[in-house]
Amino acid sequence: LGKGEKGIPISYDVGPQAINTHDGIPVFGLYPDYVNKVKVDWTEEGKKQTYTWSIYAAPVSLPSTTGQTAVLPTVEPVKVDSSLKNRLYLFNHITGMPRAGHIMHVAGGAANWDYTGINWISDTNGDVRGYMNIDKFRNQDDITRFGSMMSFHQVNDGNLIFGQGQRYFKYDFLGRVISDKRLPKGFIDFSHAITETPKGTYLLRVAKENYPLNGKYTINTVRDHILEVDQNGDTVDYWDLPKILDPYRDDVILAMDQGAVCLSVDAEHSGQVMTKEQLAKQPFGDIAGSGPGRNWAHVNSVSYDPRDDSIIISSRHQSAIIKIGRDKKVKWILSDPSGWKGELAKKVLKPVDSNGKPLTCEAHHCDGGFDWTWTQHTGWLVPSKSTGGKTVVTAFDNGDARGMEQPAMPSMKYSRGVEYQIDEKNMTVSQMWEYGKERGFDWYSAITSVTEYRPETKTMFMYSATAGMSGTKPIVSVLDEVKDGTQDVMLELKVHSNRAGMLGYRALIIDPEQMFKK
């Protein structure tokens, strides 16, 4: 039951399998440091029964660091439509303290890209309804037990999948371990993306260990392989992106703000770009650069299209959303056409308006209000809208290097949630909807963030996770749900960080009805 008059109750059905698994009724969503009222209704011998228990839950307990102001960030409700009042959100934030960067692979890679995850569940009042004890997952002296905890998804059976460094996990919402597996041999450095396919396999964004390069080097790659594994952890397939794409296309990298490259934030280099000469001198390792062994792709999402057994990836450092088949052939590229060569250039989609009329595009800009995504995140398929030969994808268009340049003033930057419709037969793309441009720099997130269509409420869910990031002050992330196809904000929450150096990565909607239904 809810806390006080305005508290929000969490209700869900519990199936016999869940009762047997937990040897009783699983209770989720208790308020911390509070005597909760838990009401249970059941039927016994044909008669309806009810009973209410009082259960105290302990306070939230998490590691603390210098400059921290509270145990968790504070969630402030700004607007909550009554139709969305019962939403629960899992927030996935990242902090740089403590870090385990003293351990890394001999041949390079991104093992030392290690940030402590701060993950909790909030209701729309801003009250904490669950959190993860990070100490149960991390060991700073074990390379297989640290890394940035990312890509939480509630999958079809109601449980939670995510990954961290050299491992990937499946847990239920009471903290029971369902699976805890290492990446298969030869693959390293998970981050950003794990998703479940309808076949029950997992797609993970990883890197390749001991990768031969030009007959001269053996290196570890960085964020440029997609791995498919089955429930046993066996390798089903993988996509070697340095061979499928062009790892030397550097147009976007040369235009990017070197002060904010994913979670690597350096305020001293804000607004600065890299020259061709500097790019050529970049060492191997987790650094924005050209070619295998450097962070040339920075793939931050992967989704699966069961209609043709393909994957759709988001490559931040190519500012591209790309569809690739099981045969490892590129089907289409949603990107500014600059720098794509040969057969890949033929796969770049041509912008059209809603009537299919070609748009005029010059110098990285198009008429008709169309724009590509720039250093985007979460280029996801929308299955419920992808019908009749059309493919619909959404993305969080972060907006760094928009138009292949840095603006005269940083305050001119903006981010967008955006939706595209793709005609794969005619190789065209139209922009169906956008949100965020009019909110300007206050809503701008240089890195991270998410856009997702929610069919059950017909809303666009967006989390501008690093809004207001300066590198020196606590950020205020902004979560919005907007009525589909409109600018009508139905829900907005502001998430006030509890320390400088903490960054929002993503958020997701949690459905308690799916947790224990079996």
Residues 10, 142, single domain; the answer is: no
> 49 and 119: one domain?
no
CATH number at residue 55: 2.60.40.3100
Q: For residues 53 and 162, state if they share a domain.
A: no
Is 377 annotated in the active site? Answer: yes
Residues 146 and 257 both lie in one domain:
yes
What confidence tens digit (pLDDT) does each residue in 314-340 have? 999 999 999 999 999 999 999 999 999
Is the same domain home to 397 and 463? Answer: yes
- Supply the pLDDT for residue 108: 73
Residue 378: Cβ within 10 Å count: 25
pLDDT of 99 > 60? The answer is: no
> Is 0.85 surpassed by the pTM of this model?
yes
355 and 436 belong to one structural domain? yes
User: How many structural domains are present in the chain?
Assistant: 2
* Co-location of 245 and 374 in the same domain: yes
Q: Are 310 and 448 contained in the same domain?
A: yes
- Residue 97: is its pLDDT beyond 70? no
Separation of alpha carbons 473 and 177, rounded Å: 36
Whether 216 is covered by a domain: the verdict is: yes
**Would you place residue 109 in the very low, low, confident or very high pLDDT band (cuts 50, 70, 90)?**
confident
Mean pLDDT value of segment 9-31: 97
Residue among 431, 479, 481, 478 nearest 457 (CA): 481
Question: Helices marked H in 309-430 — which ranges?
Answer: 342-345
Strands 377-381 and 310-315: unpaired
Of 472, 465, 467, 66, nearest in space to 267 by CA: 472
Distance CA 487, CA 434 (A): 8
Query: pLDDT (tens digit, 9 = 90+) per residue, 237-283?
Result: 999 999 999 999 999 999 999 876 655 555 566 667 888 888 878 88
Rounded-to-integer distance, Cα 2 and Cα 29, Å: 10
Average pLDDT, the chain: 94
Indicate whether 80 belongs to any domain. Answer: no
Asked whether residue 184 is assigned to any structural domain, the reply reads yes
Helices in 332-442 by DSSP H: which ranges?
342-345
| Residue 477: CATH number of its domain | 2.120.10.30
What percent of the chain stands above pLDDT 70? 95
Residue 473 domain-assigned?
yes
Same domain, 374 and 233: yes
Q: Which pairing describes strands 450-454 and 428-435: parallel, antiparallel, or unpaired?
A: unpaired
Q: Are 155 and 172 in contact (CB under 8 A)?
A: no
Give the domain range for residue 265. 88-514
The most distant pair of C-alpha atoms in the chain lies apart, rounded to whole Å, by 79
User: Choosing from 105, 192, 298, 377, which is the catalytic residue?
Assistant: 377
In a shared domain, residues 1 and 128: no
Indicate whether 386 belongs to any domain: yes
Please name the amino acid found at residue 356. G
Q: Do 170 and 292 sit in the same domain of this protein?
A: yes
- 410 inside domain: yes
